[in-house]
Structure 1
């Protein structure tokens, strides 16, 4: 295969990643700080779910979701240093995702983890995980409980 594409045997199957679709995480992500190169793979066009695949460790990948699809009032705060690292010129430069935990054998128990969003500047191909405090939301929410309930969740 040419150098512009890389094939990875990931946890979700074989992926062919274009070099121009990789994202650099200068700080890595929590628990995997030494891994810096990732690809963001859309599960199915039009759904809020994605897969963040390490380009350096094929066994490392995580399911992510667009939190705004479930919780329209979800918001994060980035420190000035994080904005500089991501080369943010406008909030519209960022694509925000949160991790999804799917318990083995219990997909109904799947949760969105709101305290460590992944922020990606798609134009610059830079990403970072930004731990949040004092969210106004619980740290995790069950996907099955979501809909137009984010006001109730915010008061939990």
Structure 2
């Protein structure tokens, strides 16, 4: 799946970046990774399925956000979190506080900042990191 998504509001720190292509990656790690790449390849991000790391992770998506993404069914939306790469994947972290919501049907996406103070912006990819 190489899917291109429109990010009308951009990403935190990259507000002008309005289009990213999502590509699954096959990495030797106990999680599912994706690459998000700008159209000309000048900017790229590593993203992960946070539910593989934190099975109890949850996000309450408000009706206004669902409207922005043109969500008709929850099955149409996938949720990923951005990874901050360190020296290795084992020492890298992910941002659980600001997940990416991607509508597979409408191809609209956004970064959603949760107000939950218990969520970390630097959650380890590996429990003992």
TM-score, length basis structure 1? 0.72
Show structure 1 runs of 5+ residues with no match: 1-16, 147-156
Of Structure 1 and Structure 2, which has the larger fraction of its residues in helix?
1
Q: Give 2:35's aligned residue.
A: 51
Q: 1: CA distance between counterparts of 2:12 and 2:121?
A: 16
Inter-CA distance 32–137: structure 2 relative to 1 (3 Å threshold): closer
| Greater relative contact order, per chain length (Cα 8 Å cut-off, separation 6+) | 2
Structure whose CA Rg is larger: 1
Q: 1: CA distance between counterparts of 2:54 and 2:31?
A: 15
Aligned pair count reads 126
Deviation at 1:30, TM superposition (A): 1.1
Does residue 42 of structure 1 match 2:27? no
Does residue 129 of structure 1 match 2:111? yes
Show structure 2 runs of 5+ residues with no match: none
TM-score, length basis structure 2? 0.86
Q: Cα RMSD between the aligned structures?
A: 2.2
Deviation at 1:24, TM superposition (A): 0.7
Inter-CA distance 74–135: structure 2 relative to 1 (3 Å threshold): farther
Q: How do residues 71-110 of structure 1 correspond to structure 2 at under 5 angstroms?
A: 71-103=54-86, 105-110=87-92
Does residue 28 of structure 1 match 2:10? yes
